[in-house]
Amino acid sequence: MIRKRILGILGYICFALGVAGVCVWYGFPYTAYVNTRLADMRSPLVTVAVGEAAPLIPMGIGARSVEIVCLTMPGTSRFLVDGVNLRASVLSYVLGKWKTTMDADLFGGSLKARGTMTPRNMPRELKGTVEFQEIGLKGFAPCLSGMDDISGTMNGKVYFSGRMDRMTQGEGNATLRVEDVAAVLHNPLVAGFVITEGSGEARVRMHKGRLEILSCTFESAGIKGMLKGKIVFRAPFVKSTMQLEVTLVADEAIKKQPSGISLMMRPGVTHTINFSGTLEQPRVNLVS
């Protein structure tokens, strides 16, 4: 008799805990919580805010209408991501390593990230990789102020390790490739230049507060080029200094470009352009 009463009481307790758990699981203010945690990260490069968040089973959060604001560009550059799913390893939380995975639908392609983050009571450090697959370049238009009507896709992989509040002092490398690029340039130096069937590949490294371009090649109908150099990070980001060299070689198809460009760039002749100064106030020097 007593045993039945004890089992009955335990049954009611388990039922009550189950109901309470369900209520907390679905009634918790996930959107406010996620936005608060994102604000705590204090990245000098971007700010992120979500419009709606909901729990994922067994341990994760799905976010919709994610707004990313790029702080590295003059003015305001905003991107809107339709959906992001963030999942965490339960065991890693127990061990204090916070291993997470992220999958997102981004500009018609997909983004997959894997990484670890230190607990909140320690300096917030991040280490992980990000893979891009068929990301549409049109989505980056807010940061590409010198181009109109841009299209094409990007694939690549990025590795990063460093503190969230000092991302420009971290260590990392990236390999990126763009394909089927089309755009119209309206930079004063090459105003009206039309990119068609463009492609390019780059390998970069971030080390000791600078971004080093290890290799970067690109080509379009009428022109081939190469970029090398480095960017030294400063605070604020737009004060970062650069030493970049662009080498261009045109072919006969360059004659189809606007007359000013076709006269400046003769087929078969190598042209070199140096960029210096800061990202906010660059200096351009046409060497040859």
Residues 102 and 199 both lie in one domain: no
Task: Report the distance separating Cα 9 and Cα 6, nearest Å.
Answer: 5
Residues 144 and 248 both lie in one domain: no
Cα→Cα distances 96→61, 72, 100, 118, 213, Å: 19, 32, 12, 7, 36
Q: Which of 102, 127, 162 is the last residue in one of the domains?
A: 162
What domain range is 59 assigned to?
Answer: 29-162
Task: Report the distance separating Cα 282 and Cα 285, nearest Å.
Answer: 10
Residue 12 lies in a domain: no
pLDDT tens, residue by residue, 106-123: 788 888 888 877 665 556
Residues 52 and 146 both lie in one domain: yes
Residue 181 lies in a domain: no
Number of domains in the chain: 2
Residues 151 and 227 both lie in one domain: no
Element (H, E) at 147: strand 147-163
Residues 71 and 115 both lie in one domain: yes
pLDDT tens, residue by residue, 243-270: 999 998 888 777 777 655 655 677 778 8
- HSE-CB of 219 using CA atoms within 13 angstroms: 7
Element (H, E) at 116: strand 109-117
Cis peptide before 55 (omega within 30 of 0): no
Q: Which stretches of the chain score pLDDT less than 50? A: none
Residue 170 lies in a domain: no
Task: Report the distance separating Cα 198 and Cα 148, nearest Å.
Answer: 15
Q: What is the pLDDT of residue 285?
A: 84
Cα→Cα distances 97→59, 92, 123, 180, 203, Å: 15, 5, 13, 41, 30
Q: Which of 128, 162, 196 is the last residue in one of the domains?
A: 162
Residues 152 and 259 both lie in one domain: no
Residue 226 lies in a domain: yes
Residue 167 lies in a domain: no
Q: What is the pLDDT of residue 40?
A: 62
For β-strands 270-277 and 282-286, DSSP reports them as antiparallel
Residue 110 lies in a domain: yes
Residue 143 lies in a domain: yes
Q: What is the pLDDT of residue 132?
A: 87
Residues 255 and 207 both lie in one domain: yes
Residues 212 and 126 both lie in one domain: no
Give the single-character DSSP code of 242. E
Q: What is the pLDDT of residue 214?
A: 93
Three-state secondary structure call for residue 166: helix
What would the 3-class secondary structure string for 90-110 be?
A: HHHHHHCCCEEEEEEEECCEE
Residue 126 lies in a domain: yes
Q: Helical H runs in 150-258?
A: none
